């Protein structure tokens, strides 16, 4: 069995195990969008939602990524309210994805490998409870997989894993100017210094999970290096 075949077989095994866990927990593995196509949702917070959004938009199987707020006590909060830290919300992204192309387990892997889950209420220069590392699960199947992965990380880490795992109670989309922020503001200083390195890391580490447009293109013959 070749290396590529072995990797694909291992991925198929992981997806089968994950699907079995979800079925045993009574969670419907699949749902359908308006076009009747299979979709599921995941909600993650890993610091500034501009970063998280840009990371997950790179992945094949991801249909939509919406920046927003979850985990607080104030209905329909504004960005400025969330920034005070008084509403209890975290900046999150809600991801709609095709489980036939990318699994929830694979999304968890990308989530944990593209931020620091050992820093409490902080990611780089962004400090505050709204920047906490958090997974808002949509069902018991997602909760079980998230807790399992977190325990694996904890066993291998010298520092405590502070990622919060909590049920999703409400998701409020952020203001329009926050959506697709990196794509529409690539030259902004924060985008160049903070977000671009995260996107570059995803493109390097998860090449097999990238959308075709996100994959690095080889230089044309004779092009300057």
- Residues labelled as active-site residues: 48
Residues near 33 by beta carbon (within 8 Å), at least 6 away in sequence: 39, 63, 96
Beta carbons within 10 angstroms of residue 105's beta carbon: 19
From residue 212, give the alpha-carbon distance in Å to each of 44, 65, 128, 205, 215.
24, 17, 36, 15, 5
Do 133 and 115 form a contact (C-beta atoms < 8 A)? yes
Tell me how far apart the alpha carbons of residues 55 and 53 are, in angstroms, rounded to a whole number. Answer: 5
Q: What share of the chain is helix, strand, coil (3-state, %, to 5)?
A: 40, 20, 35
| CB-count exposure of residue 213 (10 Å: 0-12, 13-18, 19+) | exposed
Residue 11, classed as helix, strand or coil, is helix
Place of tokens 């077989």: 9
Residues near 100 by beta carbon (within 8 Å), at least 6 away in sequence: 38, 61
Do 98 and 83 form a contact (C-beta atoms < 8 A)? no
């Amino acid at each position: 069995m070749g290396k590529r075949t072995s990797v694909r077989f291992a991925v198929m095994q992981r997806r089968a195990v994950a699907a079995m866990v979800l079925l045993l927990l009574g969670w419907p593995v699949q749902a359908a969008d308006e076009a009747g196509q299979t979709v599921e949702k995941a909600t993650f917070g890993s610091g500034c939602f501009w970063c998280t959004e840009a990371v997950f938009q790179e992945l094949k199987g991801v249909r939509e990524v919406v920046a927003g707020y979850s985990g607080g006590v104030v209905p329909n909060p504004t960005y400025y309210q969330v920034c005070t830290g008084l509403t209890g919300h975290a900046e999150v992204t809600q991801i709609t994805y095709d489980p036939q192309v990318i699994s929830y387990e694979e999304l968890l892997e990308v989530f944990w490998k593209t931020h620091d889950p050992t820093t409490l209420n902080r990611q780089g220069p962004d400090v505050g409870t709204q920047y906490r590392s958090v997974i808002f699960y949509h069902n018991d199947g997602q909760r079980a997989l998230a807790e399992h992965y977190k325990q694996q990380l904890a066993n291998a880490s010298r520092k405590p894993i502070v990622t919060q795992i909590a049920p999703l109670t409400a998701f409020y989309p952020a203001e329009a100017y926050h959506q697709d922020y990196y794509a529409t503001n690539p030259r902004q200083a924060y985008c160049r210094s903070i977000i671009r390195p995260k996107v570059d890391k995803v493109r390097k580490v998860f090449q097999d999970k990238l959308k075709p447009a996100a994959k690095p293109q080889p230089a044309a013959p004779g092009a300057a290096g």
